[in-house]
Structure 1
Amino acid sequence: MADRVPLDFDPPVRQIRALLLGVDDRDLAAPTPCPDWPVAALLDHLMGLSVAFTMAARKRAGVPGIDGPPPQPSAGHLSPHWRSRLPVLLAELSIAWRDPGAWTGTAQAGGVTLPATAMGAFAMNELIMHGWDLARATEQDYAADPRVLEVLIEFLGQGSAEGTPGLFGPRVPVDPEEDLLTRTIGLAGRDPRWRPPRRRPVPTRAATGA
């Protein structure tokens, strides 16, 4: 079909939107696999990247996150309306990359211009990685389409094993016999074994003797 696009953003977007339903306010300060980013900062980053990659797909310029580096994600910057706003931004991102025109020519985001196909792969990698980050941080299940992961493994494999500052950390060695998601996570510079610190249960009256 002439209108087919290389990658379908709908599945990872739907999964992140489902994960958001499992995020409790108490989770916002919890650590994530991204060093120094609590869940609130990760959500702020997801909001920013959703706008930036939507504008990249639409070939827009002159908006935050396009002509220059995006602001550093911050828990303090997270919109108080993130629960209603972020699902909308993610849906707009998915819709933008359904347009075959989004994959033609070049695209710009974060002050970087790339072939549109590479920018689309980069956007997909951001969704997959940060979806996994959010799932791990909030102790929810996560899965990804094997066909997408195969594309990302090829895409990430073209980068440096030492990582790219501001984008990817150094690769984490992973057994080549591991599943595709684990291999993708390692190539992106994350430790697939990362787990959040065990949370202490709130003492009951009986336990405290109160």
Structure 2
Amino acid sequence: MSRPPRGGQPGMDILDLGPATATMRRLVLGIGDDQLALPTPCTAYTVGDLVEHVGGLALAFTGAAHHRSVPGADGIGEGDASRLEDGWRHRIVRDLEVLAGAWRSPVAYDGMTAAGGVALPGAVAARIALDEVVVHGWDLARATGQRFEAHPPSVAACLEFVSGFEVPPEAGDGPFGPPVPPPPDATDLERLLALTGRDPRAR
């Protein structure tokens, strides 16, 4: 999941977003046009809305890794399926691959950056990006009946990250809702999902 840095901040872990983005890329390519209106575990988002959100976050967090804003990104990623253009699958797949590559650079973790208009440390932005890809990958797999491949080191990093903050109750209609009780015998993935407001065993 991480390796000793060759630059950047002392003691900083470099996250590998590659496995999570590879899973997300496969899921995006497997979504049919007839599935775009299906509901997802993100109650405010259909499949199409969530895919558009994923495409936007790939751009925003790539920009965060490069410490620069993304030209023309206003409104992208807000969760609006009507923004999906012809060829959106291959565009999002490409942008996810670029996202993973951007966070392999130690420079990405230096100092402060911004994503979605929010200023935050580079190391935190990397963890948010990974968490978004992992959890929303599960959302899309569950909504479209596809297989979800959990990468244990990615899940562990996300679980450590989300365990350290509370989601406010007013976030219940957003992509990440208030935590729910995990099953007593929950796996790490199920604990992560419960912490982000999902019932990991609901059908």
Bin for the TM-score computed over the shorter chain? 0.7 to 0.9
The answer to whether residue 201 in structure 2 is matched with residue 193 in structure 1 is: yes
Based on CA coordinates, which of the two structures has the bigger radius of gyration?
1
Q: Distance in 2 between matches of 1:60 and 1:192?
A: 36
Q: Distance in 1 between matches of 2:16 and 2:5?
A: 15
The answer to whether residue 38 in structure 2 is matched with residue 35 in structure 1 is: no
Q: Distance in 2 between matches of 1:69 and 1:110?
A: 9
Task: State the 4+ residue runs in structure 1 displaced beyond 2 angstroms.
Answer: 1-6, 61-65, 68-72, 161-168
Q: Distance in 2 between matches of 1:83 and 1:40?
A: 11
The answer to whether residue 111 in structure 2 is matched with residue 105 in structure 1 is: yes
The answer to whether residue 132 in structure 2 is matched with residue 126 in structure 1 is: yes
The count of residues paired between Structure 1 and Structure 2 equals 193
Give the deviation of 1:160 after TM superposition.
Answer: 1.5
Is the contact made by 2:57 and 2:77 (CA closer than 8 Å) also made in structure 1? no
Amino acid in structure 2 at the alignment position of 1:154: E
Amino acid in structure 2 at the alignment position of 1:193: R
Give the deviation of 1:7 after TM superposition.
Answer: 1.2
Amino acid in structure 2 at the alignment position of 1:90: L
Q: Distance in 1 between matches of 2:29 and 2:60?
A: 23
Inter-CA distance 7–141: structure 2 relative to 1 (3 Å threshold): same
Amino acid in structure 1 at the alignment position of 2:42: C
Calculate the aligned-residue CA RMSD, in Å. Answer: 2.1
Give the deviation of 1:72 after TM superposition.
Answer: 2.7
Is the contact made by 1:163 and 1:171 (CA closer than 8 Å) also made in structure 2? no
Is the contact made by 2:20 and 2:154 (CA closer than 8 Å) also made in structure 1? no
- After superposition, residues 127-146 of structure 1 pair within 5 angstroms as 127-146=133-152
> TM-score normalized by structure 2?
0.86
> TM-score normalized by structure 1?
0.83
1:88 to 94, 103, 114: 94
My pick for the range that moved more, 33-42 or 2-11, is 2-11
Give the deviation of 1:71 after TM superposition.
Answer: 5.8
Amino acid in structure 1 at the alignment position of 2:131: N
Identity across the alignment (%): 39
Structure 1: tracts of 5 or more residues without a match: 196-210
The answer to whether residue 23 in structure 2 is matched with residue 15 in structure 1 is: yes
The answer to whether residue 56 in structure 2 is matched with residue 53 in structure 1 is: no
Inter-CA distance 61–19: structure 2 relative to 1 (3 Å threshold): closer
Amino acid in structure 2 at the alignment position of 1:13: T
Amino acid in structure 2 at the alignment position of 1:3: R
The answer to whether residue 182 in structure 2 is matched with residue 174 in structure 1 is: yes
Q: Distance in 1 between matches of 2:5 and 2:79?
A: 38
Give the deviation of 1:79 after TM superposition.
Answer: 1.9
